[in-house]
Amino acid sequence: MDPALVALFVGAALASLFMAWVIGAGSSGATPFAPAVGANAVGTMRAAFLVGIFGFAGAVTQGSSVSEAVGTGLVGGTSMPVAGVILVLVLGAGLMAVGIVTGYPIATAFTVTGAVIGIGLALGGTPVWPKYRQIAAVWVATPFVGGGIAYVIASVLPRPDVPERYSVPALVGVVAAVLVNVEFGFLGGGSSTGTVRGVGQDVLAVGEWASAVVVTGGAALTVAALVRWDVERDQCGGLQRVLLALGSLVAFSAGGSQVGLAVGPLLPLLGEVGSASTVAVLVGGGLGMLAGSWTGAPRMIKSLARDYSSLGPRRAISALVPSFLIAQLAVLLGVPVSFNEIVVSAIIGSGAAVGGQAAVDARKILVTLCAWAGSFALSFVLAYAAGRLLL
């Protein structure tokens, strides 16, 4: 094996590890538990610890879908060289680091996606328009769908004619129904993925419709019954435990989605070195994100939890439920998505339902929107220019 190639691959791996740290310190490390911290259900440091653990688990078990999309699905007709991979990761991580220092949530998915497309096109690649349309649809729809769902939930929870002993268990039951249909790498055979419902279908030896009713419905009803019992027994403590569970699921989903932004560019290089597997790369990326969550996330957690709106437990639940649903949809589609965009949009929607315009910081939101739009454009332009000049 060419020593120069090995040295370049090591350099790319280190750049990927740095990118994973930045993601853990920024979007995936801050946003999942920000609503729970804002509702005083968990402290900032404990939130950073939990998000690191669950983010690592999500990265290893769900990270392959988005990783493959980022690595091979954004540009056709060319293979990115090792130097190009390093350049993508350095540009993406650099822009994210700016967001961490300034306290504004730069969208990781926008920066990395823009950098990959920019360098790929600079090297003579062809645009993959169907994937671009799919990504654009998810990015544009996320604020409206996530914010809209959060608005509806936050409007219903405080109503006296909809008691929380019914509304909160119903919401958690929906989350449980989705969770048993989520694909996990360790439940599949070989390179395929599987679901809890699929395992139950095999064990019970029933058909598709029967498993949907028995496994999905059974999981939803069981979880809803447990949550109802807990909320009736201790309303305040029960709501806090629901918040912690939802935050953990969102952190898990963040790991499964965001790790692809760090390690996806490495996947095309694995065949050249011949010794690293996709699972090993996902584990490395997950460890980098875990380290970032533990060491750098508290600053961004405080920024999101305190600056965008003053969250109570009901508004925090309203923000976390759509965040989990959208994140899992993005993983299923293999679309790189920004967790800053997902959670911030949900926080804004829940805030508008309860307190109207006064419940959110309009200036902060405007600056964030500009940062989201500018991060993709800037990363694309910088990557394209660097690719033309240096590669």
pLDDT band at 216, cuts 50/70/90? Answer: very high
Q: Which pLDDT score is estimated for 47?
A: 87
The pLDDT of residue 104 is 62
Q: Within 13 Å and on the Cβ side, how many CA atoms surround 204?
A: 16
pTM for this entry: 0.88
Asked whether the beta carbons of 301 and 33 are under 8 A apart, the reply is: yes
Poorest-confidence range of 154-168, 216-230, 231-245, 255-269? 154-168
Q: DSSP label at 206?
A: -
Say if residue 163's pLDDT is above 90.
no
d(CA 95, CA 107) in angstroms, rounded, equals: 9
Measuring CA to CA, how many Å separate 244 from each of 2, 11, 196, 240, 385? Answer: 49, 38, 22, 6, 44
Predicted confidence (pLDDT) at residue 308 exceeds the cutoff of 60: no
| CA dihedral over 39, 225, 48, 149, signed as positive or negative | negative
- What is the pLDDT at residue 1? 55
Distance CA 71, CA 91 (A): 16
State mean pLDDT over 310-332. 86
Angle at 244 between CA 355 and CA 211, to 5 degrees: 105
With CA atoms as reference, report the closest residue to 87 among 383, 388, 385: 383
Name beta bridge partners: 184. Answer: 194
The residue type found at 227 is V
Write down how long the chain is. Answer: 391
When pLDDT is cut at 50, 70 and 90, the band that residue 289 belongs to is: very high
* 329 compared with 90, residue with greater pLDDT: 329
Evaluate if residue 191 carries a pLDDT over 60: no
Confidence of residue 307 (pLDDT cuts 50, 70, 90): low
Q: How far apart are CA 83 and CA 233, in angstroms?
A: 59
Contact present, 35 and 347 (Cβ < 8 Å): yes
Estimate the crossing angle of helix 44-62 against helix 278-307, to 10 degrees. Answer: 150
Give the span between the Cα atoms of 133 and 65, in whole angstroms.
18
What pLDDT shows up at residue 246?
Answer: 92
- Alpha helix segments (H runs only) across the chain: 3-25, 27-30, 34-38, 44-62, 64-72, 82-102, 108-122, 129-156, 164-179, 196-204, 208-211, 218-233, 235-263, 270-273, 278-307, 313-333, 339-355, 362-390
**How high is the pLDDT of residue 116?**
93
How does pLDDT run across 347-361, given as a tens digit for each residue?
A: 888 878 866 655 566
What per-residue confidence (pLDDT) applies to 193? 67
Range of the domain at 158: 3-390
The residue that leads in pLDDT, 262 or 306, is 262
Handedness of CA 248, 199, 261, 315 (dihedral sign): negative
356-376 average pLDDT score: 72
Domain count, the chain: 1
Side-chain-side CA neighbours of residue 114 (13 Å):
27
Most confident residue range from 51-60, 157-166, 277-286, 341-350:
51-60
Q: Is the pLDDT of residue 26 over 80?
A: no
Q: In which region does residue 127 sit, left (phi positive, over 0), alpha (psi from -120 to 50) or beta (all else)?
A: beta
- Phi/psi region, residue 99 (left: phi>0; alpha: psi -120 to 50; beta: rest), is alpha
Question: With 0-12 CB in 10 A as exposed, 13-18 as middle and 19+ as buried, what is 320?
Answer: buried
pLDDT for 272 equals 60
**Residue 306: pLDDT band by 50, 70, 90 thresholds?**
low
Give the model's confidence band at 27: pLDDT under 50 very low, under 70 low, under 90 confident, else very high: low
Higher pLDDT, 248 or 160: 248
* Three-state secondary-structure class, residue 358: helix
Closest CA to 391 of 104, 113, 141, 125: 125
Predicted confidence at residue 153, as pLDDT, reads 92
Residue 30 pLDDT greater than 60, yes or no: yes
Query: What percentage of the chain carries pLDDT values higher than 70?
Result: 90
Q: What percent of the chain has pLDDT over 90?
A: 34
DSSP state, residue 127: E
**388: three-class secondary structure by DSSP:** helix
pLDDT at residue 103 in the model: 60
Does 2 score more than 70 pLDDT? no
Residue 141 or residue 366, greater confidence: 141
